[in-house]
Structure formats: C-alpha cells, structure tokens
Copies of this chain bind each other. A is one copy, B any other.
Amino acid sequence: MKYTDLNTPNRTIMTPGPVEVDPRVLRAMSTPILGQFDPAFTNIMNEVMEMLRTIFQTTNQWAFPVDGTSRSGIEAILCSVIEPGDKVLVPIFGRFGYLLTEICERYGADVHTIECSWGEVFDQQEIIAAIRDIQPKVLAVVHGETSTGCMQPIDKLGTICREEEVLFIVDAVATIGGVDIKVDEWKIDALIAGTQKCLSIPAGMAPVTYNERVEKVITQRKKVEKGISTETDRLEELDRSHSFVKSNYLDLSMLQDYWSPRRLNHHTEATSMLYALREGLRIILEEGLENRFHRHQLHEQALMAGIEAMGLKRYGNPAAKLPTVTCIEVPTGVNPETVREMLLDQFGIEIAKSFGPLEGKIWRIGTMGYSCRKENVLFTLAALEAVLIRHGAKVETGKAMQAALDIYHNSQLIVHAEVL
C-alpha cells in the first residue's frame, strides 16, 4: 500500500488558529456516529444549542452551528439578511473587515466603509457617527481582528443600532471563548463564532446566534425546497414580498427549520464535529467563563512580558490589543520566514505570519483555548530567543522567561491573597 498510517508530528501550535485541541475533544470525535434523526442525536443537537446560549450569554432561541468553517457562518448570517441594494456599514481595521465587505458586495449590498490605520481600532463614537450619517440596514463589525492583533470595543454600538433600526452583526470568530462577549447585554443582533480558535475545537463548524429582529428578516425570505415542501409552505411563499436568499446551503431559514422541532431535512448534520463541539463547550462550561477569560489574560500578560524583556517590539496600539493574539515586529535584518521555519523544524512550534501589507513585517502569536497554557508560553519564549540569537538578532538574553515566570508567580500571590 502506497499510503501509510497517518503519522503526524507533535506540534506546539501558537498561531491565531487553528490551535491545539483538548484530548477530550479529540476522543469525543471517535464516538460511533448516530443517524441525524435518531432521538439520541437530536437530543445532542438540543443540548448543543443550550450550551451555546450560555457561551454566547444570550436567551436567543437560535444558537446552532453552521456546518462549515468560520466564514460559512459569517456568510450564512450576511447572505440571509442582506438583499440587493441594502446599505451595510463596515468599519475596517484589518483583513477580516475586508472579508465582510467582500461577502456583502457579492450579495449585492451597497457597502459603506470607514477605515482606520492597521494596528488601531475605532473610537466607538466614530462608528456611531457613521451609523447616523449613513443610516445603513446593517452594521457588520469584526470584534477580534487576528490580522493586526487588535480588538474593537463594541459594547456601546447595540443601543444606537436599536435606536436607528440597524441590525448589529458581530464577527466574534477570534474572541468567543477567550474574551467576554455579552450578546444580550450589548444588544448584538447576530454573532458568528469559530471553533478552531478560543473554543479549541477542530475547524469545520461555525456556531452562530441571532435574535427575533434578525429572524423577522429571515422569515420574510423563507423558501422550502419543492421536494419536501407542503401545501402550507407553498401558500406562505406566495405571500412573501422579499427576495429569497441566494445560497441554499447557507440559508438560515432552512437551517432554522432543521434545528427546530420540525427537523425539516436540509443537510446531514456533521455528526463527529457536533460531538467535538459538544465536548469542547462542556469543557468551557466546566472551566467557567470568568475563569477562562482570566486564564487568557494571564498567559497573554506572561507572553507580552517575555517578549518585551527580550527587547522585541510589539506591533499595534497597546490600548487596542486583542488579548488572544500578540503581534511582534520583525527586527531589522532578520528573515521572518526562516525564523518561523526554524521554530517549526527545531522546536515543533508554529507561530504565524500576517497578510497583505503586514506580510513579512510582523509575527503573530496566539494564546487561545487549549494552546493558552503556561508551558506553551514558556517554551515559545525560550525557542524564540534561541532562534533569534541564531539569526544574529540583538536580543536581551536570559530575561524573557524570568519576566514570564514573574507574572505567573505574582498571579499566584494574588490568588493566594484573595483566598485569605
């Protein structure tokens, strides 16, 4: 036989995704599959919806995964809401803002953008002013922009969106499960998550949630396949004045019927990925959201302390930093790609480059989910120091790990003091 057993090298994955997966999640995937309409399986589907509501901090009825990678969730929400000619406002502060505009344009939206320098984010008042000025149907915002390592504050945008009758859609792919996001309190109308980042589940599912404001739009565009529609479905369709959604696979009105008690057949739910999602969410609920966010902050601080002690410069405005991604400027004269290659080949550590204008200028280190662990942070600092020395870069030696260890030590003192 030409093809051998799957033999994969051991890796410490410190990119902004995909990140390492908890062995419990990997194990859950090897559970034998069930039929999609088996009550034992639909019960798991319902459990996952319930768990997602907790993670999303929402009472929304609709919270389920789209069967595709993160951008399938983004496209599902956008294409189900946007009709040709609809005004959409997208504040852009990195690559994934462009992705939102690109998807909106494909579906015929009248896209308006505001842009700020990469490495910065907007003051929320700037976005609010743009909403008042442009009066869009939809405001679509990236929460955590992994391309620049920046996070846009969004807690004040929902209120103004309600006042102005704008639908507020948030791409939280890079933040969900690592950073606090309050869907209901922040009045987010629809939110898209990704599995392969802070949820630490393999790529391939995009959990989404949306409220009645979004559901209302979707229901007006509903379409049931001819092969399975009833007379009632067909009569209801005649009454609809809004255009149907271009995509069948990503039409939320169909996905919703499948995830509802009606269980109207659409796709065949990705069984093993749903097992993985369930186990990953269960781990998060066991850890507790607050503890989890605190853990992400702690390791971010240790990593940043180490980076700075080494004498490296962080990229981007510190006040705008995304807690789950740390960007580092490549020191002058150092080949960014041979550094990454040496980290991978000699240490089995993967860190990321960036995109577009930042390609070759910065490295990006993720501290996400199961990868966000003390030993990973310390090992990455140790390896980066050694590789940079090997590349002849000027680094402060022997200081990075000490700085990180100090952070860990002090955090234990704080915990200890709190207990007393």
Contacts and interface: CB of A to CB of B under 8 A. Distances in A.
Contact of A249 (B3, B72, B96, B270): B72
Nearest to A265: B355
A3 B43 CA distance: 12
Interface in A167-197: 194, 196
Interface in A1-51: 1-3, 6, 8-11, 13, 15, 17-18, 20-21, 23, 26-36, 38, 40, 44, 47, 51
A222 to B, nearest CB: 13
A133 interface: no
A286 interface: yes
A285 B2 CA distance: 10
A297 interface: no
B75 A227 contact: no
A30 B26 contact: yes
A361 to B, nearest CB: 14
Contacts of A266: 71
Contacts of A285: 1-3
Nearest to A4: B282
A268 B204 CA distance: 8
A313 interface: no
A227 B356 contact: yes
Copies of this protein in the complex: 2
Contacts of A103: 248
A121 interface: no
Given A67-B72, A268-B69, A247 B247 contact: yes
Interface in A48-95: 51, 67-72, 75, 79, 94-95
A94 B249 CA distance: 19
Interface stretch (A272-280, A320-328, A400-408, A410-418): A272-280
Contacts of A98: 225-227
B350 A107 contact: no
A69 B268 CA distance: 7
A215 B17 CA distance: 30
A395 interface: no
B35 A350 contact: yes
23 contacts: A6-B44, A18-B271, A21-B32, A26-B31, A26-B32, A26-B272, A29-B29, A29-B30, A29-B272, A30-B30, A69-B267, A69-B268, A71-B249, A71-B266, A72-B72, A97-B227, A106-B244, A202-B270, A202-B272, A203-B270, A228-B356, A270-B273, A273-B273
Interface of A: 1-3, 6, 8-11, 13, 15, 17-18, 20-21, 23, 26-36, 38, 40, 44, 47, 51, 67-72, 75, 79, 94-99, 101-103, 106-107, 147, 194, 196, 202-204, 223, 225-229, 244-250, 265-273, 275-276, 278-279, 282, 285-286, 344, 350, 355-356
Q: Which 8 A-B pairs have the closest CB atoms?
A: A204-B270, A95-B227, A98-B227, A69-B267, A202-B272, A203-B268, A26-B30, A29-B29
